[in-house]
Structure 1
């Protein structure tokens, strides 16, 4: 299994370099469990979802705590058949057989309830793609039902679902959407945008 994310962080400030460089320090506790590669467009984080999503959460939260408008754009993927397996990506999320959909939804909701409260408000929109699966829409609709029950659902949009709430719960919800829906060994992706401190009304 290969799992990871290509991410770009956009602070809307003249000191964007300072905000980005400071926020990257939030990745330090995760560097021994992630492979991190940065170029002039994006940063690649490769590793298991249980490390990847807390790292994304802490990176974004660090930037958002500056009070400036920050946006995180991410393409998140697992199980891509075009990527080689990587030992660093071994995850407890994908062990064993896939439980029934209702059981996975219940497990996802329980995980969100246990998320840390970070007192940083953010909004996000995501699109989940389950690839190469005959019943892929069952998995996507099951994920949407989970999102609607997560406590941070705002609305359905064309091509996406919008969430809003504490950043801790938001990234926990994203992790569960990524891991609980679609076959454990299957190719699943999320197209994600997260925003905090926007001057635009909701």
Structure 2
């Protein structure tokens, strides 16, 4: 399965170059399993779907550790039919992903509870698009139920859901939403914004 993300990082500082270049070094441990390409607009991450959000977490936490206001914008996709397949992209073939919604929700909550703490508080908003499924609204409502019980749910907004909490739990929640909802072999897309150290009041 072709899975990946186009990620753009925006540090609000005169030293944005230094912050971005340092953050990209956090991707080094993922290079054996990923194709990583950076240009003047974004960084492409192509690889195992279950490692996409840990990679983005490490990238963003490194940037946010500078203390400046940082924003990450990403378009994440798995199973896109318009992309060539790639040997480093594997399908989600774990039997757990074919379970009923209730069991997937419970399993997703357990994964978030076990997420490592980073010490970095972030806010995120995202929209999930499980495409090509005849029961896509069931998947979306199931995902919403999971989010409300994830421990990092902030509120529903127009066209998206807002999360807030430690980056470990937030990115784990995003990963579970991406992996467990929508057809395991189907096309699922996710639109994401993450912010840290914002001067805006909550």
TM-score normalised to the size of structure 2? Answer: 0.97
User: What are the superposed Cα offsets for residues 54-90 of structure 1, whole Å, 9 maximum, x if unpaired?
Assistant: 1100000000111000000000000011112222111
Task: State how 1:60-75 maps to structure 2 within 5 Å.
Answer: 60-75=60-75
Runs of 4+ in 1 over 2 A off after TM superposition: 93-97
Task: State how 1:6-155 maps to structure 2 within 5 Å.
Answer: 6-90=6-90, 93-96=92-95, 98-155=98-155
2:55 & 2:7 partners in 1: Cα distance? 12
The RMSD of aligned alpha carbons is 1.0
2:86 & 2:173 partners in 1: Cα distance? 25
In the alignment, which residue of structure 2 is the partner of 1:175?
175
Shift of 1:119: 0.5
Q: How many residues align?
A: 201
Structure 1 gap ranges (5+): none
Q: Is the CA contact 1:34–1:51 (under 8 Å) kept in the aligned structure 2?
A: no
Q: Is the CA contact 1:57–1:167 (under 8 Å) kept in the aligned structure 2?
A: yes
Q: Is the CA contact 1:8–1:74 (under 8 Å) kept in the aligned structure 2?
A: yes
Q: Is the CA contact 1:139–1:182 (under 8 Å) kept in the aligned structure 2?
A: yes
Which deviates further from its counterpart, 44-53 or 12-21?
A: 44-53
1:24 & 1:140 partners in 2: Cα distance? 32
1:176 & 1:132 partners in 2: Cα distance? 19
Structure 2 gap ranges (5+): none
1:153 & 1:187 partners in 2: Cα distance? 25
1:176 & 1:51 partners in 2: Cα distance? 11
TM-score normalised to the size of structure 1? Answer: 0.97
